[in-house]
Amino acid sequence: MKVKSKLADIDFLFGRFQYKKDHLIVHSDPKQSMETKVYVSPDDIISALGKALSNPMVWIYFLGFPFFLVRYRLRHRRKRSAGTPSR
C-alpha cells in the first residue's frame, strides 16, 4: 500500500495485527526501514465503511477487482522481467 502525504511518501507493507483496548493495531512489516503502527478504532471502521459503500467508485472497483488484479500482476511481472538482465 502506498501512503502519500505532505510529510512523506512511503510504501506500507502489512506486518502483524494486534488488538489492544478496543483498537486494531496494524504493524508494518519488520523488513521496512521505518517502523509504523496504525491504530484503528471501531469508529474508524464505521466511518470508512460508510464512506466507501456510499461511493460509486468503490463499487466499480469491487466489481472490477478480478480484472484489476490480473492486469496489475501482469504489469508488475513484465516490469520485473524487463529489469532482469538476461544471460
Task: Read off the pLDDT of residues 8-28 as tens digits, 9 standing for 90 and up.
Answer: 787 888 999 999 999 999 999
Number of folded domains that form the chain:
2
* Chain segment 34-71, per-residue pLDDT in tens: 888 999 999 999 999 999 999 999 999 999 999 999 99
**pLDDT, position 87:** 52
Asked if 42 and 65 sit in the same domain, the reply is no
Tell me what pLDDT residue 85 has: 62
Does residue 40 sit in the same domain as residue 1? yes
Q: What is the C-alpha to C-alpha distance for residues 38 and 15, in angstroms, rounded to an integer?
A: 11
Same domain, 44 and 71: no
Integer CA distances (angstroms), 24 to 12, 42, 52, 77, in order? 16, 8, 19, 33
Domain hosting 27: range is 1-54
Asked whether residue 45 falls in the same domain as residue 75, the answer is: no
Q: What does the pLDDT read at residue 22?
A: 94
Pull the grid cell for residue 46. 464505521
Per-residue confidence (pLDDT) for residue 86, from 0 to 100: 54
The answer to whether the beta carbons of residues 66 and 73 sit under 8 Å apart is no
Asked whether residue 44 falls in the same domain as residue 83, the answer is no
Residues 41, 2 share a domain: yes
Whether residues 4 and 33 fall in one domain: yes
Burial degree of 56 (CB within 10 A; 0-12, 13-18, 19+): exposed
Residues 47 and 68 in one domain: no
